Amino acid sequence: MIKVGLVGYGFMGHMHAQCYEATGEAKVVALADVEADRRKEAEDKLGCRTFPGIGEMLASADVDMVDICTPTYLHEEHVTAAAQAAKPVLCEKPLSLTVESCDRMIGAVKKAGVAMMTGQVIRFWPEYQVLKEIVDSGRYGRVEWASASRLSPAPNWAWQRWLLNPELSGGAVLDLHIHDQDYIAWLLGTPGKIQACGTPGPGGAVDSVFSLGWEHPSGAKSYAEGSLTLAPSFPFRMALHVACEKATIKLDTCLTPSLVVYPFEGASFAPPLPEQKVGAAAQTQGNLSSLGGYYNEIQYFLGCLASGGKPEIVTPEEARESVRICLAITESVKTGKTVSL
C-alpha cells in the first residue's frame, strides 16, 4: 500500500483522494491544508493525520509520495519541498506560471532523483485516449487539421476565488485552454507559430481565448477555443474534431456516444471505450464530476512508482512545453501578433 501525502483539499484534492481510495493500492495517510475546517473534514473522511503546511507534513508524516493539489502559484514551493524530501511527486496542472519556474521545478526533482508527473488529465481521459490510439495507428492517414473546444461557467467555487486572479492562475489560458493545447501538442507536436485573440473576464485575465496553430511537425493545423465566462447553468463541454485523410473523428462529451469515427468509405461507428472502474465523484464543486480520467492518471502514476519507472505518458518536459505554448498564446492575445515557438 502506497502512503500518500496530499497537499490541498479543495476540489481537486477531493477528486484525488477518492481516486486513491478507489484504486485499493494507495491510501492518503497525511494531508496539508491551510484551512482548519478542511483538515477536520479530511480527518473524519480519510482517517489521516493533518497539518497546516507541507513542511510540517514532510517533517512528521511517513509518506511514500506527495500529491500537490494546491493553486498554481504555490506549485513551485510545494514541488521543491517534496523533491528536497526525496519524495516522488504528482503535481496538478499547469506545472507552473512561467517557463523559468518550470525549469527550477524540473531541476529540483532531477537533482533529488525522484519521479514527477503533472496532472495533464486529458491524456488519460478515455475518449481522448482512444482517439490518440486511432490517429497513431495510421489507419486513416495523416491528420490535416484538429479543432478543440472547452467551455465552462466561471469557477466561482475556487478557494478565495484564486482562479479568477490572473497573477495566481494565468487565467483561462493556463488553467483551462492548456488541456487542449497539451493534447494537440501530444497528437500533432508543438506548433511553429501561434495566433490568438481573446476577451477578458471579470478579474482581468484572458478568460475567453481563440487560438490558431500551424507548422506542427506533422504538417497539420489546429484551432482551439476555451472560455471560463459562460452562464452558471451552461453545461461544461469538451469537444474535439480531427480531420484525417480518410476519416473525420468527432468527440463531444455532451453527446451519446461521445466518440464517433466517420470514415470516407464505410459506415460511421462508435469505437469501444475502456470500461470505467469508477463513477462520479462525491461532493465535488468543480466543473467535472467523473473520476475516470483522474483515476486513470493516478493509477498510472502509482504503477510507475511500484515498478520503479519514470512516467512516460506525461514527462516533466512535456508539461513545461504546454506552459510555454500557453504563454505564447497569452502573448499573442495581448500583442495582436503572431508568436513563433
Q: What is the pLDDT along the chain (341 residues), one digit of tens a residue?
A: 999 999 999 999 999 999 999 999 999 999 999 999 999 999 999 999 999 999 999 999 999 999 999 999 999 999 999 999 999 999 999 999 999 999 999 999 999 999 999 999 999 999 999 999 999 999 999 999 999 999 999 877 777 778 778 889 899 999 999 999 999 999 999 999 999 999 988 878 899 999 999 999 989 999 999 999 999 999 999 999 999 999 999 999 999 999 999 999 999 999 999 877 665 445 555 444 468 899 999 999 999 999 999 999 999 999 999 999 999 999 999 999 999 99
**153 prior amide bond cis, ω within 30:** no
Helix 99-112 and helix 316-335: axis angle, to 10°? Answer: 170
Please count the residues of the chain. 341
User: How far apart are the C-alpha atoms of 127 and 148, rounded to whole Å?
Assistant: 13
Terminal C-alpha separation, the chain: 43
For 244, residues 6+ apart whose C-beta sits below 8 A from its C-beta are 135, 140, 141, 142, 143, 144
Distances (CA, A) of 52 to 6, 16, 49, 60, 169: 12, 19, 11, 12, 22
pLDDT at position 60: 98
pLDDT at position 282: 53
Domains of the chain, with CATH numbers? 2-120 (3.40.50.720), 122-275+316-340 (3.30.360.10)
User: How far apart are the C-alpha atoms of 265 and 234, rounded to whole Å?
Assistant: 36
For 212, residues 6+ apart whose C-beta sits below 8 A from its C-beta are 194, 195, 196, 221, 222, 223
pLDDT at position 289: 46
pLDDT at position 284: 52
Query: Which region, left, alpha or beta, applies to residue 99 given φ > 0 means left and ψ of -120 to 50 means alpha?
Result: alpha
Cell of 310: 519514470
Contact in structure between 30 and 6 (CB atoms under 8 Å): yes
User: How far apart are the C-alpha atoms of 140 and 134, rounded to whole Å?
Assistant: 8
pLDDT at position 27: 97
Say what the pTM is: 0.94
Laid out side by side, the sheet with 89-92 consists of 49-51, 26-32, 2-7, 65-68, 89-92, 116-119
Contact in structure between 159 and 70 (CB atoms under 8 Å): no
Distances (CA, A) of 45 to 8, 23, 262: 15, 17, 46
